[in-house]
Amino acid sequence: MTSCSSDEPQDNTAASSTNRGDAKSGEKAEAKADPTQQAIDAYKDVLKDPEKYERDHSDRDDYHPTGTYSYALIEANNDEVPELLLKNDCKYFSPVTFIAIGQDGKPFAVDRELVAGAGTTAARANVAASSEGDGIYEWSYTSGRPEVPTIHYNFDGEQLTEGEKSEWSQVTGTPAEQVELEWYVTDDANGLKKNQSGSNFGSGESSAKSDSSNSKDKSKKKKGKKPNPDLPAGYVKKGDRKEGNKPNPDGDASASASKDLPEGAYAKAGGPIPSDALEATVVRRYKESYMHDRAVFQSPSGNIKCAVDASFAGCGIPSYRDTKPYGYSKTVGANWWVDFKNWKLMPRDDVPPYAPDDGGSEIEDVPYGKTIYFGDHVCHSEYNGMTCWNAKTGKGAFMSISKTEFFG
């Protein structure tokens, strides 16, 4: 009996100790749970079914989906839980859905929708992260004009609210507190490893802003990341490409073939055709057998106009004919044409090959942030200029209204 009575409390004590140990272990495991990783895991499910989080745009005639989505990870309210921007890749304007993690640990889309892209006219729009992890910026501007009207949206963990309105100039560049985004296709998990906002991401700081933080002097901005020259490009729907010269699936991962790119040039220039490049859609066809199919395209501002076919390729910067930054001849005029065969600037006094002719008059706009290719030639458009190169030789040029520099 004594033995039984002494065993009984020992068993209970052991069981009680074990239970307490299990409870403590559970508490420790819960305490060690990484909110950043939990959010990323939730966003992986979002990327598997992006349509679930998007609004119905059937009534919008300015959205032309390509069939793919892209995303970017940012920090918008200075906590350990990142936010997700989900973009429905459209030919022109693309709707951007802002997704966050709710109190229940599940992702949700906020009511306000953002826009990025370029219209068929001069209208442009874009979104930028905050280098301080404080909300998000939306640009709404017009190509050809340096001013970029901007709205700063605040995020309180539940919704975006319109904040300060400002304006900056493309001449001086993107403000330090605004970070241009690099977009990733939904099946590329690398974007979930890169928060594109400030250094507070994943720092373990309080998830709630202090009163002093909220009342900080907005005029004293921290230095943020410089604009990323490797901006988003449109993503091609699988099966849309023709056989022949196809983008290299490893193009995004491989470094540029040229290590000496001019300042402002596209980061992937000099390498193979990027996997996110779009094949030119405006291609003029000619009846004459000696004429080759010709792709014609231009920057959204119309200041850089290009023509590419099997026999020649090049771009013209019409403004050079007036500003003459690279010389002038009384016989043939200013050097304003960038020849893709010899990669040099040269004069041209005949009708430029992108001008309307028997093959048609249409010319394709290449929206900022997009990459286009035809044959072996690739061009990437940005508001600070256009970078074109030959994917086989690695030679190319960065062209803008102020300068043209060659590489490769």
| The pLDDT value given to residue 153 | 96
| The pLDDT value given to residue 406 | 97
Span 269-273, average pLDDT: 95
| The pLDDT value given to residue 100 | 96
Angle at 68 between CA 250 and CA 86, to 5 degrees: 100
| The pLDDT value given to residue 308 | 95
CA distance 79 to 210: 11
| The pLDDT value given to residue 363 | 92
Span 44-63, average pLDDT: 82
Query: Could you tell me the pLDDT band of residue 90, with boundaries at 50, 70 and 90?
Result: confident
DSSP state of 68: E
CA distance 210 to 202: 17
Q: Is residue 135 a contact partner of residue 190, using CB atoms and an 8 Å limit?
A: no
Query: Could you tell me the pLDDT band of residue 79, with boundaries at 50, 70 and 90?
Result: confident
Q: Is residue 177 a contact partner of residue 221, using CB atoms and an 8 Å limit?
A: yes
Structure tokens given for 134: 């404080």
| The pLDDT value given to residue 117 | 85
- What sign results for the dihedral spanned by CA atoms 348, 354, 355, 359? positive
Structure tokens given for 283: 């291609």
Q: Which residue do the tokens 């100790």 mark?
A: 17
Q: Which of 56-65, 148-157, 235-244, 380-389 has the lowest mean pLDDT?
A: 235-244
Q: Is residue 259 a contact partner of residue 341, using CB atoms and an 8 Å limit?
A: no
Percent of the chain predicted with pLDDT > 90:
47
| The pLDDT value given to residue 121 | 64
Tell which residue, 251, 253, 232, has the closest CA to residue 190. 253
Tell which residue, 53, 103, 101, has the closest CA to residue 73. 101
| The pLDDT value given to residue 47 | 95
Q: Which of 29-33, 83-87, 131-135, 193-197 has the lowest mean pLDDT?
A: 29-33
**Where do the structural domains in the chain lie, given as residue ranges?**
35-214, 278-407
Q: What is the mean pLDDT of the chain?
A: 78
| The pLDDT value given to residue 192 | 92
| The pLDDT value given to residue 129 | 95
Span 300-327, average pLDDT: 92
Q: What is the pLDDT of residues 92-105, one digit of tens each?
A: 889 999 999 999 99
Query: Could you tell me the pLDDT band of residue 332, with boundaries at 50, 70 and 90?
Result: confident
Span 262-271, average pLDDT: 93
Query: Could you tell me the pLDDT band of residue 162, with boundaries at 50, 70 and 90?
Result: very high
pTM exceeds 0.75 for this model: no
| The pLDDT value given to residue 257 | 46
Q: Is residue 208 a contact partner of residue 69, using CB atoms and an 8 Å limit?
A: no
| The pLDDT value given to residue 354 | 92
| The pLDDT value given to residue 120 | 63
